[in-house]
Amino acid sequence: MLAPTINPGQLRRAELCSSRTRLTSTMSHKLLLIDDDARLTSMLGDYLSAAGFEVEVAGSLALGRQALEGSVPDLLVLDLMLPDGDGLDFCRTLRSDARTRRLPVLMLSARGEPMDRILGLELGADDYLAKPFEPRELQARVKALLRRSGLDAQADDALRFGRLEIDLAARVARLDGKPCDLTSHQFDLLVVLAQSPGRVLTRDQIMDALKGHPLDAFDRSIDVHISRIRAVIEDDAKNPRRVLTVRGVGYVFARKQDAEPGA
């Protein structure tokens, strides 16, 4: 079985980088990793733990079932090929059980053919990552799945900027108390910007934060989504006050957008 492209030096640098991320984390998420490659699970366990996650490892489907009987994690990383069964069948079983029906599943496989990915997604996986892979991409996809499932927000978490409110738990933006018509992808893009007010984000940084979403390969797709977001959250989309363009660099979400709430 192929392992991700990790070497000791890379892992150490990743741990140092992830430790900085962990310091800013507001909550710890529990991940269950089911894979029979001991070397792989050891490295990924160390890497994800350094990023602030609580990681439980199971080397077989049987051990994975036992872990799930004890408690349901926030996210499951599941290998497609295991010694005692098929990850696809296991995923299908999870989706038929009320306890695990909504459990986010990231499937791993050395089989990277398009039909394998399509089959995995059709059977209930939320995302699919082919081996070998970069550990940073795995972490980005895990975070994206948690964000999309709403597990990265407390029930009462909301970002407020004058007349604009971004409700993370309900996954809705409101302007003057009225819901804004945003797609799921557009909402997540808005959240990425709003969680770093006053900071200029390049298109590459935005794309990295949105890993796991079916955005186009070209960063110009970000511009299209920004335009659509502005159309619903700005009073004048041609003269935006909330999402600003920094020419030649990227975008910045304005800290102060209205003279006062309700203005």
Domain spans of the chain, in order of start: 8-149, 158-253
Q: What is the pLDDT at residue 240?
A: 95
Q: How far apart are CA 237 and CA 30, in angstroms?
A: 41
Query: Residue 203: which H helix or E strand, with range?
Result: helix 203-209
Crossing angle for the helix pair 135-149 and 38-50, nearest 10 degrees? 60
- Give the SS3 label for residue 60: coil
Q: What residues contact residue 236 under an 8 Å CB cut-off, 6+ apart?
A: none
Q: How confident is the model at residue 178 (pLDDT cuts 50, 70, 90)?
A: very high
In this model, does residue 217 exceed pLDDT 90? no
pLDDT over 60 at 101, yes or no: yes
11 vs 87, more confident = 87
Which residue's structure tokens are 């550990």? Answer: 135
Q: Which pLDDT score, from 0 to 100, does residue 219 have?
A: 46
* pLDDT value for 119: 75
- Res. 22: pLDDT tops 60: no
pLDDT at 1: 41
Looking at the domain that runs over 158-253, which CATH code has it been given?
1.10.10.10
Q: How confident is the model at residue 246 (pLDDT cuts 50, 70, 90)?
A: very high
Q: Give the Cα separation of 37 and 77 in Å (integer).
A: 13
The span from the CA of 5 to the CA of 132, in Å, is: 6
Q: Across residues 238-249, what is the average pLDDT?
A: 94
Q: Which of 19-33, 51-65, 135-149 has the highest mean pLDDT?
A: 51-65
48 has pLDDT over 80: yes
What local confidence, expressed as pLDDT, does residue 112 receive? 63
Confidence grade of residue 220 (pLDDT, cut at 50, 70, 90): low
- pLDDT value at residue 34: 97
Domains 8-149 and 158-253 share a fold: no
Q: Is the pTM value of this prediction over 0.85?
A: no
115-168 per-position pLDDT tens digit: 777 777 777 788 888 888 888 899 999 988 888 776 554 444 788 898 999 998
Does domain 8-149 fall under CATH 3.40.50.2300? My reply is: yes
For residue 11, name the pLDDT band (cuts at 50, 70, 90).
very low
What is the rounded distance in angstroms from the CA atom of residue 76 to the CA atom of residue 105?
5
Residue 89: is its pLDDT beyond 70?
A: yes
C-alpha closest to that of 168 among 148, 186, 183, 153: 153
pLDDT band at 77 (very low <50, low <70, confident <90, very high): very high
CA distance 46 to 41: 8
Task: Indicate the pLDDT class of residue 235, thresholds 50, 70 and 90.
Answer: very high
* Residues contacting 8, CB < 8 A, separation 6+: none
Tell me the mean pLDDT in the region 66-78.
Answer: 92
What does the alpha-carbon distance between residue 263 and residue 242 come to, in Å, rounded to a whole number? 14
Spatial separation of the C-alpha atoms in residues 77 and 35, rounded to whole Å: 8
Percent over 70 (pLDDT), the chain:
80
**Given this model, what pLDDT does residue 66 score?**
94
